[in-house]
Chains A and B, each alone.
Chain A
Amino acid sequence: MAQELTATEKPNENPILWVTRPMATAARQFAKSLFRPSTIVYPYERLEDPKFRGRLKVASGKPFGVGQVWDNYRGVHALNIATCISCNLCAFSCPDLCIDMVTVPGGDPKHPKKCPQIDYGKCSYCGFCSDACPEGCLTMTTRYELSTTKRSEMIYSPQKLLEVFQHKLPMNPIRLARPANEDAILLEPLLCIGCNACARDCPTQCITMLDIPKPEAKPGEKLPKRIWKEPVVNDSDCVRCGTCISVCPKECLFWGTRR
C-alpha cells in the first residue's frame, strides 16, 4: 500500500494553492514583523539594552547575547596604571607583538615607569597578556566597539586604556596565576660582579644585594675585580618577569629549579 502523501506533496493539488499558500506565509510574516522585526537597529540600540532582556533565551539556562555579555568576553583591555609594575610580561607574552611598553608620567626620572600600549589593529584578543599580568592590572573588558576611520586611533595608549578601566565595565576574572615555585631565578656566583643592575631594575624590589665575605688572596693569585655583594631573590615576591636576567651584564642569572 502506497504511503499516504502529505498535503504539500500531493502532485495533483489545486494550482491556486501554489500561489496563495506562500503569499499567506509572507503576509503572516509581515504582520509579525510589523511590530518587532528580528533585527535591531544596531548603532542606536544594542542587545545589552534592558529592553531586550529576556527576549531570547537559550535552553542551557543563562541567556546569552541578550541583556548581557559573558563576563569572560575578551574585548578591549582595561589598564590600572597605579598598580602596574612595568614588568613587561604582557609584552613578552603577546603572540602578535602588538604591545609596546611606553613611558607614562609619574615614575622615577632615572627609571621611568613603562606601561603597555596596545595596537588593536594587530591584537587577536587571545588574552595571554591579561593571564600573564602578575598584578591583575591589565584585564580584558566586555567592550567590543572599536571601529574608527584612522589606523592611528586603533593604537590605545596607557592613558586610553586607563579610561576604559575607569568605566568599570564587566571584566574578565583576574586569575593572578603565579608561576610554580620551581621556576626561580638562580645565580652563578662565580660570574657575578655585584653590579646591582638586577636589584635596581626589579619591578617588585624582591632582590636584595647581600654582602659576601671577601676571600683572602692567596699568593700569586689575583682576586677578580668586583663588588663583594650578591643578589638574593625573595621567591614569594618574585613575579618571574625575567627583567633581572635580561639586564645582567655578565649573564650570571638564569632560570632554574631551587632545591
Chain B
Amino acid sequence: MSGATLFSVSFDIGSAILRGIASVFPMPESGWITNPDVILGLSAVIFAAILLAASMLNTILLIWWERKLLGRIMDRRGAMHVGYAGLLQNFADGLKLFRKNTVQPREADSLGFYSGPVTYMVTSLIIFGILPISSGWNGGALPLTLLLALAIFSFAPLFIFVSAWSSNNKYSLMGGMRSAAQMIAYEVPILLAVVAVVIVSGSFDLTTIVYEQQNYWFWGPLFVALIVFVAGMLAEMERIPFDLPEAEAELVEGWNTEYGGMLFAFFMLADYLRALIGSILVVLLFLGGWTLPTWVPSGLTTFPLAGIFWFMVKTYAVFGLFVWIRASLPRVRTDQLLRVGWNRMIPLSLLAVFLAAVLVTVKCLPVFGCVPSAGGM
C-alpha cells in the first residue's frame, strides 16, 4: 500500500459514490453534494466500515486458524466440512449464534447485563481501529497511539466485572473477580515491558516504533521484555495457561456463564479480537511490524499490499505461538498465577527496563553488532 493510505482509499470510494449520485440525480453545483463536510463524513464512515470488516474478518479467520492448528497438535484435523478446509465453519457458527434467542436471568441487572458485552466489544474494536497495520493503514496516527491502545486495553476488567456481577450468578461473579485480579496483576509487567521498548525506540507512536526497527527487530535486544510481554498478554487475553476466569472445571463458563446467543457471540468475538490485538502488539513492538529485514530480496516487499501481507503473516505466526502454548501447558492455580505475576514478572520487567536503559546508554545493541540506536533518552 505504498502511496495510497487507508483514508485516501475511503476518500476515493466516497467521492466515487457522490459522483454516481450526482450523475443519477442532477442537482446544482452549489448543492449539498459539493459540501466538503459531506465527502469527509462519508469517507469517515467508509473508513470505519473497512476497519470493522477487516477486524471481524481477521477475528473469524483467527478462530479458524486456532481450530486447525490446535487440531493438528491434537492429532485431529479441525473443522473440515463447511467451505474449503472448514474456512466457512466459523461464519456458520456465528450465524447460528446471531439467530439464537437471548435469555436474561431473573433478577439480573439489565443495564449491566446488556451493556457489558457491547462495551467490551466496542472498546476492543477501538483498539483495532487505532493500530497501524502498514505504512498506509494507520487509523490512529496519534503521537501517543501505544499509550492509548494500552489504556483502552485495560478497560476490559471493568466491563467483564460489570457483566459478571449483573448476571446474578455466583460462578459469573467469581469468574469476573478472578478476571479483574488477573488483569490488574499482569497490567503492570506489560506496561513495564512496553516501557523498555519505548526507551529504546524513543517514541510512543507505533509507526515510529516500527520504523525504529528497520535495522534490527527489538525481539533480540529486548528478549526479556518480549518474554514478559507475551506472558502478560496470555493473561490479558485469558488464554489457556491463564484462563482461570473461565475455568470450565470449576466455574461453569466463568464470567460469561449466563450469556447465550448474540451476547455470547459478542464476548467470543471480542475475546478473539483481543487475541488478535495482542498478537498485533507483539508484532508491532518486537517483530518489526510490516517491515522486513534489509537482506531479503526486494521482490518480497514491493508487491501490492506487501506491508499488510507480511504484517498478517507475522500476526498469525505469533497467534500460532499462543495456540502452541495453549496446546502444551495446563491451567495454573489462582495463587500460582498471582505469584508468578507479582513475584516473577515484575522483577523480570524491571530487569528488562534496566537492560533497555543500558542499551541506550552505551548506544550498542549486542545482538546485531554495534548499531547506534536512533532514539535515546
Contacts and interface: CB of A to CB of B under 8 A. Distances in A.
A25 B324 CA distance: 10
B327 A26 contact: yes
A55 to B, nearest CB: 14
Interface stretch (B17-25, B74-82, B160-168): B74-82
Interface in B71-96: 71-77, 80
A141 B69 CA distance: 39
Nearest to A36: B75
A232 interface: no
B75 A29 contact: yes
B367 interface: no
B108 to A, nearest CB: 39
B325 A33 contact: no
A22 interface: yes
A41 to B, nearest CB: 6
Q: How large is the interface on B (under 10, 10 to 19, 20 to 34, 35 or more residues)?
A: 10 to 19
Contacts of B324: 23, 26-27, 30
Contacts of A34: 72
B131 to A, nearest CB: 28
Contacts of A25: 328
Nearest to B69: A30
B249 interface: no
Nearest to A23: B328
Q: How large is the interface on A (under 10, 10 to 19, 20 to 34, 35 or more residues)?
A: 10 to 19
Contacts of B328: 19, 22-23, 25-26
Interface in A2-52: 19, 22-23, 25-27, 29-30, 32-34, 37-39, 41
Contact of B73 (A19, A29, A39, A41): A29
A19 B330 CA distance: 10
Contact of A33 (B73, B80, B329): B73
Contacts of A38: 75-76
Interface in A125-153: none
A147 to B, nearest CB: 15
Given A23-B324, A26-B324, A37 B77 contact: yes
Contacts of A39: 75-77
B351 to A, nearest CB: 16
Contact of B75 (A23, A37, A41): A37
Contacts of A29: 73-75
Contact of A22 (B71, B74, B329): B329
A133 B78 CA distance: 46
Given A37-B77, A39-B77, A19 B329 contact: yes
Nearest to B344: A15
A225 to B, nearest CB: 75
A26 B75 CA distance: 10
A23 B324 CA distance: 7
B327 to A, nearest CB: 5
Contacts of B80: 41
Contacts of A26: 73, 324, 327-328
Contact of B325 (A23, A32, A37, A41): A23
Nearest to B340: A15
Interface string B315-352: 00000000011011100000000000000000000000
A29 B323 CA distance: 14
Interface in A26-82: 26-27, 29-30, 32-34, 37-39, 41
A22 B331 CA distance: 13
A37 B76 CA distance: 6
Contacts of A30: 69, 72-73, 324
A39 B80 CA distance: 12
Nearest to A18: B329
A23 B80 CA distance: 25
- Among A22, A26, A39, the most chain B Cβ lie within 10 Å of the Cβ of A26
A33 B324 CA distance: 14
Contacts of B325: 23
Interface in A228-253: none
A41 B327 CA distance: 22
Contacts of B76: 33, 37-39
Interface of B: 69, 71-77, 80, 324-325, 327-329
Given A37-B75, A41-B80, 17 more contacts: A22-B328, A23-B325, A23-B328, A23-B329, A25-B328, A26-B328, A27-B324, A30-B69, A30-B73, A32-B75, A33-B72, A33-B73, A37-B71, A37-B72, A37-B76, A37-B77, A39-B75
28 contacts: A19-B328, A19-B329, A22-B328, A22-B329, A23-B324, A23-B325, A23-B328, A23-B329, A25-B328, A29-B73, A29-B74, A29-B75, A30-B69, A30-B72, A30-B73, A30-B324, A32-B75, A33-B72, A33-B73, A33-B75, A37-B71, A37-B72, A37-B76, A37-B77, A39-B75, A39-B76, A41-B77, A41-B80
Interface of A: 19, 22-23, 25-27, 29-30, 32-34, 37-39, 41
